[in-house]
Amino acid sequence: MNQAERNPEEVAAKVRTEVDRAIQRNIKGLEFLTTVKQPVGAMAKDTLLRRGTLQLYRYRPVVSEVYRTPILIVSPTSNRGYVFDLARGQSLVEFLLTRGYDVFMIDWLAPRRDEAHLKLEDYLLDFIPMCLACVREHSGEATASLLGYCIGGTLSLLTAALFPESIANLVLFTTPVDFRHMALFRIWGDEKHFDVDRLVDAVGNIPGEFLLSAFDMMRPANRTAGVMQLWINMWNDDYVKSYRMFDRWAAETLPLAGEYFRQSTKEFLWRNSIIAGELVVGGRRVELKKVVAPVLSVVAQHDHVVPHPAAHPIMELVGSTEREELMIKGGHVSVVAGPGAVTRLWPTLDKWLAKRSL
Amino acid sequence: MAETDFDPVAAWQKFISDWEKQVNDASARVTGTEEFSRAMNQVTKFSMAAQQQFDKQMEQFLKTVHLPSKTDIAAINDRLAAIEDALERLTTAMERSERPGGTPLAKIQIARTRRPPPESV
């Protein structure tokens, strides 16, 4: 349309909208600055286990009939599990409950000082098996579907290799196994320069701020750009609410138990021992070919933390006859609860899991 | 002459996205080098040593003026957390013993017979 031919009423309406939004930005901007933390967590739950850094929840079912196989979500050790249950309409847990699943979740808390000694063995041979036993007891079912995200996915995969008889299905969201492809972490954590022993010996548990700054350094412009986008969208309550939930989640990055960090750095970043088949946990060699449960591996197209090549070898290494990889548009976090997740991933996950949860 | 509607907000958003990508790409080129890794880890090492020294002196000062230090507070916090854990375990055990046969309540209540809708199978 020619500039001169534009309908003056349309132009006036557009100007009115923008003026209105500008006013709303100022009013809501003030509200934003004065409001306390955005509440998170949409679904009712009971805590079944609490032991130091470990918490196990069971979400209260919202339907009267559920699938036989329960789901155990394993959140990443560096972040709180509420990313799976941010708010109504933005909660994978809510989606799964309404679709008829019995949902449990391992949610890690900041490890205490006296938990700095925790190692991979504690997570893989104690915490997760203990939760699986609790899920068995509460559901009455011998097996469960494990659903892990990021390093929680890596722990889930290793658990499925160590205890294949307990796992019905394995769902992995952006799960790293080949750490050669996590380029920046690999360079920053190179053993030639990074003295992990000295760091752990000095601080005990690795502070959450240390991890958060590493994530920020990977994409240094994201935070500033995010604030600028927030200002533009300040008139939009849904956008602001979503921004604040994700911002809170990122800010609440958890510390990591010192020994667990030391061991993960050496085994995963330095030796790449999962891929090499050389990871030994509590005297047991972890062989991914022992994973026999059906596997669904979800990768994000624009994941700067766990790029596709870091997750793809799962498809080749597991012994499962049923294995599927699903590429979703989005980044490392939005793959769990972003628009792509809601419209594509969740329904696909339901379809994949339903027939395998009978 | 045909032209698209000019939307200053959309243009500004595109500018931010482009700027974000450019800065991130440029940063990755700098930080993804061995030189950067060496320098960063050196800085971390020095700042850690300085922090430890400062903590040590502060601890000594607080001890002198009979005030609790961060270590003392953290020790109390650990003990409280351990007590909370123990209480939690006791509560769970009590709840279980109050149920008939000590079985979990939820196991009795939910039917686990759901079937997927026909198109999912």
- CATH hierarchy code of domain A45-354: 3.40.50.1820
Q: Do A187 and B33 touch (CB under 8 A)?
A: yes
Q: Do A232 and B13 touch (CB under 8 A)?
A: yes
Mean pLDDT of A186-207: 90
Residue A115's pLDDT is 92
Q: Which residues of B touch A11 (CB under 8 A)?
A: none
> What mean pLDDT value characterizes chain B?
82
Of A269, A289, A273, A270, nearest to A281 by C-alpha is A273
Is the alpha carbon torsion for A330, A261, A52, A156 positive or negative? positive
Query: How does residue A2 score in pLDDT terms, banded at 50, 70 and 90?
Result: low
Q: Which residues of B touch A138 (CB under 8 A)?
A: 104, 106-107
Residue A351's pLDDT is 95
Distance in Å, alpha carbon of A144 to nearest chain B alpha carbon: 13
- Strands A103-108 and A54-59, sheet pairing: antiparallel
**Count of CA atoms in the C-beta half-sphere (13 A) of A298:** 27
Least confident span in A108-122, A249-263, B61-75, B89-103: B89-103
Residue A286's pLDDT is 96
Q: Could you give the CA distance from residue B35 to residue B29 in angstroms, rounded to a whole number?
A: 11
- Residues of A with a catalytic annotation lie at 150
Condensed to tens digits (0 to 9), the pLDDT of residues A27-81 reads 777 777 777 777 788 899 988 888 889 999 999 999 999 999 999 999 999 999 9
Q: Which of B28, B34, B45 sits opposite A184 (nearest CB)?
A: B28
Percent of chain A past pLDDT 90, that is, above it, reads 62
Place of tokens 């931010």: B16
Is pLDDT above 90 for B87? no
Specify which residues A74 forms β-bridges with. Answer: A106, A148
> What mean pLDDT value characterizes chain A?
91
Condensed to tens digits (0 to 9), the pLDDT of residues A117-159 reads 999 999 999 999 999 999 999 999 999 999 999 999 999 999 9
CA Rg value for chain A: 22
Q: Do A202 and B74 touch (CB under 8 A)?
A: no
Mean pLDDT of A215-239: 86
Residue B79's pLDDT is 87
Q: Could you give the CA distance from residue A72 to residue A106 in angstroms, rounded to a whole number?
A: 7
Q: Do B45 and A198 touch (CB under 8 A)?
A: yes
Is pLDDT above 70 for A238? yes
The answer to whether residues B31 and B42 touch, using CB atoms and an 8 Å cutoff, is no
- For A102, the enclosing helix (H) or strand (E) is none
Residues ≥6 apart with Cβ < 8 Å to A253? A78, A79, A208, A209, A211, A212, A215
Q: Could you give the CA distance from residue B16 to residue B25 in angstroms, rounded to a whole number?
A: 14
Q: Could you give the CA distance from residue A154 to residue A158 in angstroms, rounded to a whole number?
A: 6
Residues ≥6 apart with Cβ < 8 Å to A331? A300, A302, A303, A304, A338
Q: Which of residues 63-82 of A touch B (CB under 8 A)?
A: 63-68
Q: Could you give the CA distance from residue A122 to residue B102 in angstroms, rounded to a whole number?
A: 28
Helix (H, G, I), strand (E, B) or coil at A208: helix
Q: What single letter denotes the amino acid at residue A24?
A: Q
Residue A308's pLDDT is 95
Q: What single letter denotes the amino acid at residue B63?
A: K
Is pLDDT above 60 for B17? yes
Q: Do A49 and B92 touch (CB under 8 A)?
A: yes
Q: Do A114 and B27 touch (CB under 8 A)?
A: no
The answer to whether residues A46 and A57 touch, using CB atoms and an 8 Å cutoff, is yes
Q: Could you give the CA distance from residue B47 to residue B26 in angstroms, rounded to a whole number?
A: 26
ipTM of the complex: 0.74
Top-confidence residue, A172 or A341:
A172
Residue A28's pLDDT is 73
Top-confidence residue, A21 or A297:
A297
Query: How does residue B1 score in pLDDT terms, banded at 50, 70 and 90?
Result: very low
Is pLDDT above 80 for B77? yes
Q: Do B41 and A194 touch (CB under 8 A)?
A: yes
Mean pLDDT of A287-293: 96
Q: Could you give the CA distance from residue A154 to residue A177 in angstroms, rounded to a whole number?
A: 7
Minimal-distance CA residue of chain A relative to B34: A187
Residue B102's pLDDT is 56
Count other Cβ atoms within 10 Å, centred on residue B12: 14
Mean pLDDT of A302-317: 94
Most confident of B10-14, B20-24, B95-99: B20-24
Q: Do B34 and A63 touch (CB under 8 A)?
A: no
Does the CB of B78 have a partner CB in chain A at under 8 Å? Answer: yes
Q: Could you give the CA distance from residue A101 to residue A357 in angstroms, rounded to a whole number?
A: 9
Q: Which residues of B touch A184 (CB under 8 A)?
A: 28, 31-32
Helix (H, G, I), strand (E, B) or coil at A24: helix
Top-confidence residue, A218 or A281:
A281
Residue A17's pLDDT is 82
Of A59, A318, A339, A306, nearest to A171 by C-alpha is A318
Residues ≥6 apart with Cβ < 8 Å to B20? A221, A222, A224, A225
The answer to whether residues A147 and A294 touch, using CB atoms and an 8 Å cutoff, is no
Distance in Å, alpha carbon of B118 to nearest chain A alpha carbon: 10
Domain ranges for chain A, please list them.
Answer: 45-354
Is the alpha carbon torsion for A41, A46, A48, A53 positive or negative? positive
Count other Cβ atoms within 10 Å, centred on residue A183: 16
CA angle in degrees (0–180, nearest 5) for A223-A224-A225: 90
Query: How does residue A312 score in pLDDT terms, banded at 50, 70 and 90?
Result: very high
Q: Which residues of B touch A217 (CB under 8 A)?
A: 27, 31
Does the CB of A239 have a partner CB in chain B at under 8 Å? Answer: no
Q: Do B9 and A18 touch (CB under 8 A)?
A: yes
Mutation target vs A (from B38, B99, B115; most A CBs, 10 A cutoff): B115
Q: Which residues of A touch B24 (CB under 8 A)?
A: 219-222
Residue B93's pLDDT is 79
Residue B74's pLDDT is 85
Helix (H, G, I), strand (E, B) or coil at A298: strand
Does the CB of A220 have a partner CB in chain B at under 8 Å? Answer: yes
Residues ≥6 apart with Cβ < 8 Å to A259? A116, A117, A118, A119, A200
CA Rg value for chain B: 30
Specify which residues A327 forms β-bridges with. Answer: A299
The answer to whether residues A303 and A331 touch, using CB atoms and an 8 Å cutoff, is yes
Q: Could you give the CA distance from residue B63 to residue B56 in angstroms, rounded to a whole number?
A: 11
The answer to whether residues A203 and A258 touch, using CB atoms and an 8 Å cutoff, is yes
Minimal-distance CA residue of chain B relative to A54: B85
Count other Cβ atoms within 10 Å, centred on residue A296: 21
The answer to whether residues A106 and A54 touch, using CB atoms and an 8 Å cutoff, is yes
Mean pLDDT of B113-118: 89
